[in-house]
Structure 1
């Protein structure tokens, strides 16, 4: 029912840090029986962080972590493909990335 996404960036000149949070509100699986495991899902928060640094005027290095706290998706009984809503929740868990960009 409720969802949200927020981003905050702190700029330090040649470097910046970005924190983002995704909120997915609690839900009820009306295809399951009340009291069954997965009938109600809790609120879920996913947190991501990214560090970026301008090495040169047109060159930027970025590293980041998505799903920083490795939040697992909630169990939802009636979703048979992965026991959760694969279109809503993060199935991959914590992951790291790096990016190097140079503008010509």
Structure 2
């Protein structure tokens, strides 16, 4: 096997936006831009077995407050509501 380790790093950018249903002077009338950072590493034990672990939303970035969207006070279809997420995966091929 050429490499025992594989590392991935990604950034998701969501641009700033205006809440068209809010008055310009209201709190939450403008959502700032947001960056979500994710990292993942895989260790290949052999050609059939690997272990992967990672973190989504590495810096635990909270979604911006948007006043008029939903009861969640943000756009639930756009922003990460769960916060930092850790995961571990074992893969075996046969």
The verdict on a shared fold, with TM-score over 0.5 as the criterion, is: yes
1:28-53 Cα deviation digits (max 9, x unpaired): 00100111111111110000000100
Q: Secondary structure at the match of 1:56?
A: coil
What's the TM-score, normalizing by structure 2?
0.95
- Structure 1 runs (4+) greater than 2 angstroms displaced: none
Rounded to whole Å, the distance in 2 between the matches of 1:25 and 1:80 is: 19
Partner of 2:48: 58
Shift of 1:27: 0.2
Residues 1:82 and 2:72 aligned together = yes
- What RMSD, in angstroms, separates the aligned Cα atoms of the two structures? 1.0
1:68 aligns with 2:58: yes
Q: Which runs of 5+ in 1 are unaligned?
A: 1-11
Point out which structure has higher relative CO (alpha carbons under 8 A, 6+ apart): 2
Q: How many residue pairs end up in the alignment?
A: 93
- Alpha-carbon distance between aligned partners in 2 of 1:45 and 1:100, rounded to the nearest angstrom: 29
